[in-house]
Amino acid sequence: MTYEVRVETPSVEVYRHLRVAAGLSPKSAAAAAAGLHGTWHAVVAYHDEQPIGMGRVIGDGGTAFQIVDMCVLPEHQSRGVGKRIMAALMQQLLDHAPSTAYISLIADGAARHLYAQYGFAETAPESIGMARRL
């Protein structure tokens, strides 16, 4: 199978579909539109011109960035697509973010092994990731 990773922010429809189909939490159209507007950098992975994965970087553009919305449709997982998405996001950060920037992410389950390949390390016990859902 051939895959292409394109630098682009997904549309609201693509974003919402990929999130749910890949097992992430659903987002309303209004929330997705507002969130996508705050994208610093994004990529969408395609197979046969159909979007099958994505990843985004959000942040203030100088001191702090976060990798979010990393997902690949289940039928395309374990084929290197996640690695290609992550490599594209990291290259943009390396090329354009200040060297003093802090880059964070939340790793769900075994995804931590993918992120470790790009230099991410667990922060506990020095720091503990925290979250709250409304």
85: Cβ–Cβ under 8 A, 6 or more apart, which residues? 5, 43, 45, 53, 54, 55, 70, 72
Q: What is the pTM of this model?
A: 0.94
With beta carbons less than 8 A apart as the criterion, state whether 60 and 41 touch.
no
pLDDT at 1 over 80: no
Stretch 95-107: mean pLDDT = 96
Question: Using 50, 70 and 90 to split pLDDT, how confident is the model at 82?
Answer: very high
Q: Which domains does the chain have, with CATH numbers?
A: 4-116 (3.40.630.30)
**Euclidean distance between CA atoms 116 and 118, whole angstroms:** 5
Surface-to-core class of residue 17, CB atoms within 10 Å of its CB (0-12 exposed, 13-18 middle, 19+ buried): middle
